[in-house]
Amino acid sequence: MRTAAPIEHITVLGAGTMGSQIAAICALSGYRTTLVDIADAPLDQAKDLLWTRLERDVDKGRRCAKEVAAAQAKLQFATDRDAVVASTDFVIEAAVEDLAIKRQIFASLDAVAPAHAILATNSSNIVSSQIASATGRPDEVCNMHFFNPALVMKCVEIVPHELTSLQTMECTRILAESLGKEVVQLNREIPGFVANRLLNALRKEALNLIDQDIASPADIDKAARDALGHPMGPFELMDLVGLDVVYLIRLAEYEQTRDEASLPHPQIQQLYEEGRFGRKSGRGWYDYASA
């Protein structure tokens, strides 16, 4: 059972876009933070991208240089996960959306993390009950779902499973609010949570419209922006998030529901198989090579 000891050290697992930005948020908020990955290369890349972005924010007046310098001093990078986790208070896992991999990670975390440490997953779709059962501390496991780009987006969804303790939920809520986030707290878990279920309904209809050749992705995006006031349309958003991520999220939901309606749309599957992941690969629904 978690004690009332304050959170001083946060460990973030996974140096991809989400994990690195979550780690930066924690450091910017004054927490001693360690970003962990299995190799030095992704950590070096994450460090370069983060410092470049934060220094650009300073140049544009979005952040002060003192704040960024303090965050740089607070944020460490490491490959020895067990050594880092052994002295942490809160873990945020941001690895690939694969249930088997997440269960392996959480079983390993459980073996080395202090008894009071909360183990949270940033998964946007996989419910934590399927991960918590790999540990001996299911009461200290929950979803803490940030949104991309985590340095900008204000919302964090906190999702309990049946065995998550009220103390874990309260501690996670307090942490999220201390990071400057607005908390959406679910009463119980459901694949996709709240925001992604709303988003998926919009995405599903957008894909239905192109299936029927009603309008192009560009015009559907224009309608979402200019008629509905969305910052970007559904196809632009898929390209930003990454079509590989979209594809894997749909597969993860299917693994949980066994509902064929959860499977990736055929055009998303085709783009995934062609390696057209969106902005990160230069092509997705749109071509960014000449942008």
The domain 195-273 is classified under which CATH number: 1.10.3190.10, 1.10.1040.10, 3.10.20.30, 1.20.1250.20?
1.10.1040.10
Instruction: Give the residue with greater pLDDT, 3 vs 34.
Output: 34
Q: Is residue 233 within 8 Å of residue 223, measured between CB atoms?
A: yes
To the query of whether residue 145 is one of the catalytic residues in this protein, the response is yes
pLDDT tens digits for range 96-141? 888 999 999 999 999 999 999 999 999 988 999 999 999 999 999 9
Q: Is residue 234 within 8 Å of residue 201, measured between CB atoms?
A: no
Tokens of 92: 């945020």
Amino acid at site 119: L
Q: Which of 122, 124, 128, 143 is catalytic?
A: 124
Q: Which of 93, 97, 140, 157 is catalytic?
A: 157
**Of 15, 251, 256, 249, the residue nearest 124 (C-alpha):** 249
SS3 156: strand
Q: What is the pLDDT of residue 4?
A: 52
CATH code linked to domain 9-185: 3.40.50.720
To the query of whether residue 157 is one of the catalytic residues in this protein, the response is yes
> Residues near 110 by Cβ (< 8 Å), separated by ≥ 6?
119, 134, 135, 136, 137
Distance CA 62, CA 25 (A): 14
To the query of whether residue 124 is one of the catalytic residues in this protein, the response is yes
User: Domain segments of the chain: what residues?
Assistant: 9-185, 195-273
Burial class of 5 by CB neighbour count within 10 A (0 to 12, 13 to 18, 19+): exposed
To the query of whether residue 116 is one of the catalytic residues in this protein, the response is no
- Segment 49-72 shows an average pLDDT of 95
**pTM for this one?**
0.85
Q: Is residue 289 within 8 Å of residue 282, measured between CB atoms?
A: yes
